[in-house]
Structure 1
Amino acid sequence: MKTAQPSPPRPLCLRRRRKPVMLFSQSKLLLTLLLTILDFFHTFCLSQNVIEYLPGFPGKLPFKLETGYIGLGEMEEVQLFYYFFASERNPEEDPLVLWLTGGPGCSSLYGITSEIGPFTIEFLNSNGSLPSLMLKEHAWTKVANIIFLDQPVGTGFSYATTPEAFYSNDTYATELNYEFLRKWLISHPKYINNPLYIGGDSYSGITVPLVANNVYRGNEAGIKPLMNIKGYVLGNPYTDAFGEANAVVPCAHRMGLLSDRLYNSAKVNCHGNYVNVDPENILCLNDLERINQCLDKINTFMILEPLCDSVWRAKEDVLSLDISFSEEIPTNFLQSIVAPVKKIICRNAPLVLLHTWANNKSVQQALDIREGTKEEWERCNNTIKSSARAPDRPTTYVANVKSVFGYHQDFTHKNCRTLIYSGDHDLFFPHTSTEKWIESLKVPILSDWRPWFVQGQIAGYTMTYGHGDYELTYATVKGAGHTAPEFKPEECFAMITRWFEKSSL
């Protein structure tokens, strides 16, 4: 059930006024301009819907949820779907966050239910009917207004009106994300002055800096509305194609997954390059083969948890440069039942229920999903992929930005606050590679490596860098995997709350 939105009010400037002497041509030009603006609002404002009830959730939602589509592109051929949660604390003053889920092509609904959003799917008491929703205690929406965006086109419930519009790449998709944010703020003027942050994790390590850069450039060019951007937030970010892949071997060694002898042999024989290997370097190839045998059955997204057939299963070897890692595999995620208690040994098991919930007709009607625009909701759209090792793979998306290190360097000369956090048990995008490129920025250290605490316990380690109007906070999240808030929600909630309040972690 949703609350209907009224038609846009008739602008005062269109009312008849007793004003003397205006040339007909000027009046006609003004009227045309005003009608154009009115039509602009009509195009996307009418797709905004306040959701008060959701199937699977008992009673009225205790916070504001709005969903909608915004048309982008010259003919609005790209229709991006979003979920907006107003802050549960102080929406008039709390930060506004545009959250971009990774993939590319993975639905923001996963971020809402499994990471930083206010819902989670109730798994243990599922009886085969429509899955139930529960509230999360440590949702980031308690301290921030968050827009979760299904992007790029084809992700989640976003769609295109022409076949050609489905084709995209990093740079074009992020230009559309910036256009989306402009249109969203025009239709939500009450949030224009809120502190703005661009955020995301995983592959959004590419998209977030690009969108943030577009915002800064737009402000510098005077493009309206001027946005009150303060910085950006990144979790376990993909930053550099070579750097991320090459960091796997030394990080695996630090984690105790490789022996000193094997690691040192590979380091010498491969000359520290474990990705671009000379095919005639037999000693290096032999070492890498042994390393792959050691890591083949490791869950690289969280090395302490079992490796299961799931949506995160990768078909490439662990040293592959291919960042197209998510593949929907219709498998039973549940493993054996340990009597008398059901034991879930696969973290992604609830995704079966999320798939059921998101594809339920009553759910889609409640969310106001446009009929006929999607055959089926998918956690990740596998056609939005690009592979350096499989150039012939069918794809509608090209990962044309291989490194965003230069963007991070540019931000060091702006009025910008940055939070970078890494789950320290993620082997897919290791924290060591993140720490390496942060050090390469050559920004002075304001606070050196130290522990940070939650409930009197060490939650991770942190450093702060900065000069002038630039500040970067880096934090590890102890015991967390690839999507840190999923593994350590209380710690990550404390981290983001303190950082928004400009307090020390």
Structure 2
Amino acid sequence: MGFSKTSLPLFLFFILFSVSYATSRIINHARFPSTTFSPNQQAEKLIRSFNLFPKQSVNVIHGDHSLDHFLPGKIVEKKFSFFGDSGGPSIEDLGHHAGYYSLPRSNSSRLFYFFFESRKNNKDAPVVIWLTGGPGCSSELALFYENGPFKIANNLSLVWNDYGWDKASNILFVDQPIGTGFSYTSNEDDIPHDETGVSNDLYDFLQEFFKQHPKFIKNDFYITGESYAGHYVPALASRVHHGNKGKKGITINLKGFAIGNGLTNPAIQYQEYSQFAFDNKMITKQDQADINKLIPDCEVAIKTCESKGGESCSSALYQCEQIINNILSISGNVNYYDIRKKCQGPLCYDFSNLEKLLNKKTVRDALGVGDIDFVSCSRVVYNAMLQDWMRNFEVDIPELLEDGIKVLIYAGEFDFICNWLGNSKWVHAMGWSGQKQFAASKTVQFVVDGKQAGLLNSYGPLSFLKVNGAGHLVPMDQPKAALQMLANWMHGNL
């Protein structure tokens, strides 16, 4: 079989916000040929500008810039209301906050965040942080299209999301790493290159956040995210857990973490693409046999990445992406975030109202972001993290399980790009004291409104949930089920 010469844009493999920049709009290139270019040079050559706001590909502010008087390691925050003076809830009643955190390691870098207190005014509700994938994408898509308090109406007004996760928690949405969303820097060297840098920045932010909001210190704390957050989430959970063990700073009451349709263990997950594609009639049996010939080289490349690091990890990404590229070249105009659908236009999904909303002066004034450009997905941040992609972050999880930290891995059944099969395989293969019991656990129905909404396996602190009727963006596709999943899991009733 001869493989087609079209391939998927690298940037879009595992992003949560990625769907804003679907394949053909960004790059359409042949399968990676032999070249004298380094992987980083290839990426620079292949990836075009793909920001909703293409003025910059990263928020780098030249010269002095200040939204307020910043001190390193401190937060500047304001309460806000998107409802203005239109007769909606008051600012005080809402408990909605937007702010900047000045990174202590730099005089020039600020993390932007939203914080929404529990809509039910439950002072004991858990604190949840949501991390968008990428690497290098903003949290605002999740906020406005998935699990935040609001959804964007066609006339750009905001309506309450009946299934926002603020109904079950106090929830943080953070634009990270530096350079994404409304976060910014005046020095590109401040952009982290790996999960150590990312998790240290987030840990420092959480320390200051709880200092500013001491009434939430005692509340249970959960880390959640989607897609490339399959890297971010376990890395941050490990950082918080070790910080607590070391008794440094505020003890964060970490109870668990959840990853939705994530990329966590590439060595296992890349092996399952062809099987998922065949099971879902995306390719034939012969196609699968031909594509499987690419797996050994991918496995070798990942092992080299694990042992040598550096450029070998970038090379592993390019080697392994051929598996995905060839499946998608055969399957045609499939929406690889939801294989039930076709890509409609250049974006696969239409999230254009987000751009329009965040360009409104009233919104920017409400948030206090001044003239900072919004960068939805950053090429510079993406490139900075190239050597992080093929790393295995399952390795951080067993210690957390043994110490009683709850772990939920969930996946929509119709996502191809971070599919449920690959996620199930690494979860079942993970070595920990409950591995055999988890593998032997009975698969039970996850029920919403008296109907099956998913299939669940659990043992001890570990749960895996395959969500019915959902693609890559579970809270968008099945909002009621996603909210019930979160609430049940946090309360130990999943």
If the length of structure 1 is used for normalisation, what is the TM-score? 0.73
1:475 aligns with 2:472: no
Percent identical across equivalent pairs?
Answer: 28
Q: Distance in 1 between matches of 2:421 and 2:338?
A: 15
Partner of 1:458: 452
Q: Distance in 1 between matches of 2:166 and 2:252?
A: 21
Q: Which among 281, 294, 307 is matched to residue 330 of structure 2?
A: 294
Q: Distance in 2 between matches of 1:167 and 1:220?
A: 25
Note the C-alpha offset of 1:85.
0.5
Partner of 1:138: 163
Note the C-alpha offset of 1:296.
3.5
Partner of 2:231: 206
Q: Which among 163, 176, 180 is matched to residue 151 of structure 1?
A: 176
One-letter identity of the residue aligned with 1:364: R
One-letter identity of the residue aligned with 2:381: I
One-letter identity of the residue aligned with 1:361: K
Partner of 1:497: 487
Partner of 1:59: 88
Distance 1:221 1:490, change over 3 A: same
Note the C-alpha offset of 1:245.
2.9
Q: Map 1:60-139 to 2 at 5 A.
A: 60=89, 63-123=94-154, 126=155, 131-139=156-164
1:193 aligns with 2:218: yes
Q: Map 1:320-335 to 2 at 5 A.
A: none
Tell whether the 8 Å contact from 1:484 to 1:492 is kept in structure 2 after alignment.
yes
**What is the number of residues matched between the two proteins?**
399
Q: Distance in 2 between matches of 1:205 and 1:56?
A: 40
1:434 aligns with 2:431: no
Q: Map 1:86-485 to 2 at 5 A.
A: 86-123=117-154, 126=155, 131-166=156-191, 168-264=193-289, 266-267=291-292, 270=293, 273=296, 275=298, 291-311=327-347, 348-349=349-350, 351-371=351-371, 374=372, 376-386=373-383, 395=384, 398-399=387-388, 402-442=391-431, 443=435, 444-445=437-438, 447-466=441-460, 471-485=461-475
Q: Distance in 2 between matches of 1:495 and 1:448?
A: 18
**1:132-171 deviation digits (Å, cap 9, x = unpaired):** 1111111111010111100000110001133432354332
Note the C-alpha offset of 1:277.
9.3
Note the C-alpha offset of 1:274.
7.8
Note the C-alpha offset of 1:294.
2.4
Note the C-alpha offset of 1:258.
2.3
Q: Which among 32, 38, 49 is matched to residue 78 of structure 2?
A: 49
Note the C-alpha offset of 1:250.
0.6
Q: Distance in 1 between matches of 2:184 and 2:325?
A: 42
One-letter identity of the residue aligned with 2:261: N
Q: Distance in 1 between matches of 2:339 and 2:353?
A: 24
Q: Distance in 2 between matches of 1:398 and 1:274?
A: 18
One-letter identity of the residue aligned with 2:357: W
Distance 1:46 1:190, change over 3 A: same
Distance 1:273 1:75, change over 3 A: closer
Note the C-alpha offset of 1:493.
1.2
Q: Distance in 2 between matches of 1:163 and 1:439?
A: 40
Q: Distance in 1 between matches of 2:470 and 2:74?
A: 40
Q: Distance in 2 between matches of 1:203 and 1:434?
A: 13
Note the C-alpha offset of 1:98.
1.4
Q: Distance in 2 between matches of 1:420 and 1:288?
A: 22
One-letter identity of the residue aligned with 1:420: I
Distance 1:177 1:86, change over 3 A: same
Q: What is the SS of the residue equivalent to 1:412?
A: helix
Distance 1:223 1:121, change over 3 A: same
Tell whether the 8 Å contact from 1:200 to 1:234 is kept in structure 2 after alignment.
yes
If the length of structure 2 is used for normalisation, what is the TM-score? 0.75
**1:342-385 deviation digits (Å, cap 9, x = unpaired):** xxxx5x22x211101112222111111143xx3x3232122221
One-letter identity of the residue aligned with 2:103: L
Tell whether the 8 Å contact from 1:99 to 1:199 is kept in structure 2 after alignment.
yes
Q: Considering only CA atoms, is the larger Rg found in Structure 1 or Structure 2? A: 1
Q: Distance in 2 between matches of 1:400 and 1:265?
A: 25
Tell whether the 8 Å contact from 2:75 to 2:101 is kept in structure 1 after alignment.
no
One-letter identity of the residue aligned with 2:89: K
Q: Distance in 2 between matches of 1:362 and 1:144?
A: 27
Q: What is the SS of the residue equivalent to 2:76?
A: coil
Q: Distance in 2 between matches of 1:117 and 1:196?
A: 17
Distance 1:401 1:428, change over 3 A: closer
Q: What is the SS of the residue equivalent to 2:140?
A: helix
Distance 1:144 1:82, change over 3 A: same
Distance 1:367 1:244, change over 3 A: same
Distance 1:290 1:209, change over 3 A: closer
Gaps of 5+ in 2: 1-68, 302-321
Higher relative contact order (CA 8 A, sep 6+): 2
One-letter identity of the residue aligned with 1:60: P
Gaps of 5+ in 1: 1-39, 279-285, 312-345, 387-394
Q: Distance in 1 between matches of 2:280 and 2:73?
A: 50
One-letter identity of the residue aligned with 2:274: V
